[in-house]
Amino acid sequence: MASGDKKWYVLRVISGKENKIKTLIENETSKYGLDDYVGEVLIPTEKVIRMQKGKRITKDKTLFPGYIYIEANLEGELPHVLKQIPGVMGFLTAVKGGDPMPLTDAEVNRLLGKVDDLAMQEGKILNPFVVGDEVKIIDGMFKDFFGTVQEINEDNRKLKVMVKMFGSKMIPLEVNFYQVEKV
């Protein structure tokens, strides 16, 4: 089976169970000898850094919860085998109950390009802050000071925090997202 015969499809799956279902897909296609019909099974993710109790936690976040992308040639038993896997709700189709609809070349290039871009990123820190939040500085020269978020710079991952110093004087400080936590 030539790789040119394979197209990319989208499977709807139970959200939060994508990795488990991916493993089931790989096991079932192998069990039934359908490996030649399946190219790649993809769950696009991005690395996200979150501060939790003063520690940096890195996690993989699924970009499209509830969806798995599969490169396959949907001939013979393969569509039936995939639909019978626990947690798989079916393929994305143009009309309800219709045939699985392959992604266009532009969609595939955009998806694969997005996955490559995310693989090159060091990790993205989620911004759990909003202007006006009370925060405690947990790292750096001003550790253990309290302040209020005045500005958020998502691109540089920095906050402008007004900190009370010298009794009553308010001083603006620029800190990284990971240097503070909400109070």
**Cβ of 22: how many Cβ atoms within 10 Å?**
19
| Residue 176 pLDDT > 50 | yes
The pairing of strands 124-125 and 88-91 is unpaired
Backbone angles phi, psi at 75, to 5 degrees: -115, 160
Query: Cα(8)–Cα(101) distance, rounded to whole angstroms?
Result: 9
Neighbouring C-alpha atoms within 13 Å toward the C-beta of 126: 15
| Predicted pLDDT at 168 | 74
Each residue's pLDDT tens digit, 34-88: 989 999 999 988 777 777 776 777 888 888 899 999 999 988 889 999 999 999 9
Query: Cα(116)–Cα(42) distance, rounded to whole angstroms?
Result: 12
Backbone angles phi, psi at 49, to 5 degrees: -105, 130
Domains and CATH numbers, the chain: 3-125 (3.30.70.940), 134-182 (2.30.30.30)
- Cα 161–Cα 162–Cα 168 angle in degrees, nearest 5: 155
**pLDDT tier for residue 97 given thresholds of 50, 70 and 90:** confident
Tokens coding 132: 């006006």
| Cβ–Cβ < 8 Å for 118, 39 | no
66, amino acid identity: G
| Predicted pLDDT at 2 | 47
**Cβ of 129: how many Cβ atoms within 10 Å?**
17
| Residue 137 pLDDT > 70 | yes
DSSP symbol at 93: B
62, amino acid identity: T
